[in-house]
């Protein structure tokens, strides 16, 4: 079977699906299903592609932790020189567990930082706070002053640039909760500069996620460049620009060279505007680094037909991967050992008691039988990080594969794990 996906993550060798050089069937036998499987080589190559594409400017690739927050993944990226974009105190603590003494590479984003989270980040001496409102700016100045520190800040500006993506992950328009209207930024920078406990050092922007067209990135950077020049003329020492993330992946599949071209196009959209500024560039890719490097491996439990409608019921569910239910997202689904013969049009569904518990509807796939293994591809981002215990289902194990080696990086949950923090009243 031909598999249009991104090598070296998941490919067919001798008609069997492999993660790098390891048969997926062997992983299922060893670790059971459902199981998240990640290609370490693919993650490394994708991070390196970003690093190379943006080499013309001094930069830091700040991996977006919300995409996938496994400690082994964070440690691997930290060893490669990554910084980290976090949006909660919990994510910051994960980074500190995974890469001790590297909090100075952390950018803290998000619209609802609490005082406790600010204190945690200030005490850790993070690199930058991306501030998203005047009220947040005031609270951060108070917390920094109380701790006797000076917080480096960038205001996240909203450039009102539309991006073609799902409305839930578009963030760059006036009606969204994120950022500060760009026309109000100058006044707020003056206020920031008036606080001795704040160091207004950068400008931040992020227009959304899963964006495949480059024009919105270029338009946003043009507006940010204009603001930086305005702020510098007013006497502010703006020396870094956080361009956010948002570069999408090809969920329908495509060769690795397509990803390389996408990253180069992304750089070509951003670098011309920022180059003349001489600023340090921060980028926050997440999905584009880990998305295609991960798959959810699951086993067929049953087949059934209701009034001519064919269902394939698997042991993974919406609690393991909610993207199809939440976003109506497309994920390529492939059999681990394809059977010969004509394809069938089926719904791939899970065992959770929700009609919305599905991975694909009316999908034409090679014939599947009970006991067969299938892989849901491009699940490395927002798969495990959005997983839950709905229906009291244990969350899946996670495995890293590199070459011919596989290791568990998260144990499968048990029922005891789920109830250990509940109280017997």
pLDDT in the model for residue 61: 98
Whole-number Å distance between alpha carbons of 341 and 344: 10
DSSP strands (E only) in 144-293? 151-158, 180-181, 198-204, 240-242, 280-283
What is the signed CA dihedral for 24, 35, 323, 368, rounded to 10 degrees?
A: 50
Q: Give the chain's count of helices (H) and strands (E).
A: 12, 21
Give CA 358 to chain center in angstroms. Answer: 22
Residues in Cβ contact with 203 at an 8 Å cutoff, skipping those fewer than 6 apart:
154, 155, 157, 185, 224, 227, 228, 231, 238, 241, 242
Could you tell me if 422 and 42 are in contact, meaning their C-beta atoms sit under 8 angstroms apart?
Answer: no
List, in sequence order, every residue forming a beta bridge with 89; answer none if it has no partner. none
pLDDT in the model for residue 204: 95
DSSP strands (E only) in 205-247? 240-242
pLDDT in the model for residue 162: 61
- What is the assigned CATH class of domain 40-290? alpha beta
Whether the bond into 330 is cis, omega within 30 of 0: no
Could you tell me if 113 and 128 are in contact, meaning their C-beta atoms sit under 8 angstroms apart?
Answer: no
The count of other CB atoms within 10 Å of the CB of residue 321 is 26
> pLDDT tens track of the chain, all 425 residues?
455 445 579 999 999 999 999 999 999 999 999 999 999 999 999 999 999 999 999 999 999 999 999 999 999 999 999 999 999 999 999 999 999 999 999 999 999 999 999 999 999 999 999 999 999 999 999 999 999 999 999 999 988 776 554 444 444 345 555 689 889 999 999 999 999 999 999 999 998 888 988 998 999 999 999 999 999 999 999 999 999 998 999 888 766 778 899 999 999 999 999 999 999 999 999 999 999 999 999 999 999 999 889 999 999 999 999 999 998 999 999 999 999 999 999 999 999 999 999 999 999 999 999 999 999 999 999 999 999 999 999 999 999 999 999 999 999 999 999 999 998 76
Whole-number Å distance between alpha carbons of 139 and 287: 31
**Active-site residue numbers?**
353
Give CA 318 to chain center in angstroms. Answer: 18
Residue given tokens 């870094």 in the structure block: 240
**How is 308-332 classified by DSSP, letter by letter?**
TEEEEEES--TTT--HHHHH-----
User: Helices 115-124 and 89-98 sit at what angle, rounded to 10 degrees?
Assistant: 30
* CATH 1.20.1250.20 for domain 10-39+292-419: no
Query: Taking Cα atoms as reference points, which of 302, 299, 304, 331 lies closest to residue 315?
Result: 299
Indicate where the chain has its CATH 3.20.20.10 domain(s).
40-290
Burial class (CB in 10 A: 0-12, 13-18, 19+), 413: middle
Whole-number Å distance between alpha carbons of 333 and 349: 12
Element (H, E) at 78: helix 71-79
Could you tell me if 6 and 318 are in contact, meaning their C-beta atoms sit under 8 angstroms apart?
Answer: no
């Amino acid at each position: 079977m031909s598999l249009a996906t991104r090598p070296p993550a998941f490919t067919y060798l001798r008609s069997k699906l492999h993660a790098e050089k390891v048969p997926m069937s062997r992983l299922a036998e060893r670790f059971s299903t459902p199981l998240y499987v990640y290609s370490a080589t693919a993650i490394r190559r994708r991070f390196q592609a970003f690093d190379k594409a943006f080499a013309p400017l001094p930069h830091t690739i700040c991996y977006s932790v919300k995409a996938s927050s496994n400690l082994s993944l964070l440690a691997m990226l930290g060893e490669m020189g990554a910084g980290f974009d976090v949006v909660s105190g919990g994510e910051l603590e994960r980074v500190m567990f995974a890469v001790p003494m590297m909090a100075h590479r952390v950018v803290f984003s998000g619209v609802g930082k609490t005082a406790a989270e600010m204190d945690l980040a200030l005490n850790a001496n993070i690199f930058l706070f991306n501030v998203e409102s005047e009220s947040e700016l005031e609270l951060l100045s108070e917390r920094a002053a109380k701790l006797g520190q000076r917080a480096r800040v960038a205001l996240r500006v909203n450039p009102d640039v539309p991006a073609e993506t799902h409305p839930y992950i578009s963030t760059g328009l006036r009606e969204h909760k994120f950022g500060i209207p760009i026309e109000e930024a100058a006044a707020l920078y003056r206020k920031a500069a008036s606080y001795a406990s704040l160091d207004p050092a950068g400008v931040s922007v992020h227009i959304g996620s899963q964006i495949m067209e480059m024009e919105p990135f270029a338009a946003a950077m043009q507006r940010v460049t204009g603001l930086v020049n305005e702020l510098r003329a007013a006497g502010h020492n703006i020396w870094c620009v956080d361009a956010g993330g948002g570069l999408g992946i090809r969920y329908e599949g495509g060769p690795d060279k397509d990803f390389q071209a996408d990253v180069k196009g992304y750089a070509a959209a951003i670098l011309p505007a920022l180059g003349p500024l001489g600023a340090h560039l921060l980028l926050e890719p997440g999905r584009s680094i880990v998305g295609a490097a991960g798959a959810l491996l699951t086993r067929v439990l049953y087949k059934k037909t209701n009034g001519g409608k064919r269902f394939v019921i698997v042991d993974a569910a919406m609690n393991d991967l909610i993207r199809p239910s939440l976003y109506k997202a497309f994920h390529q689904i492939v059999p681990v050992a394809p059977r010969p013969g004509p394809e069938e049009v089926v719904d791939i569904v899970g065992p959770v008691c929700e009609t919305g518990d599905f991975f694909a509807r009316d999908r034409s796939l090679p014939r599947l039988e009970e006991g067969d293994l299938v892989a849901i591809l491009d699940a490395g981002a927002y798969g495990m990080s959005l997983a839950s215990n709905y229906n009291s289902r244990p969350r899946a194990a996670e495995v890293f594969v590199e070459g011919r080696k596989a290791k568990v990086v998260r144990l499968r949950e048990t029922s005891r794990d789920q109830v250990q923090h509940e109280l017997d009243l």
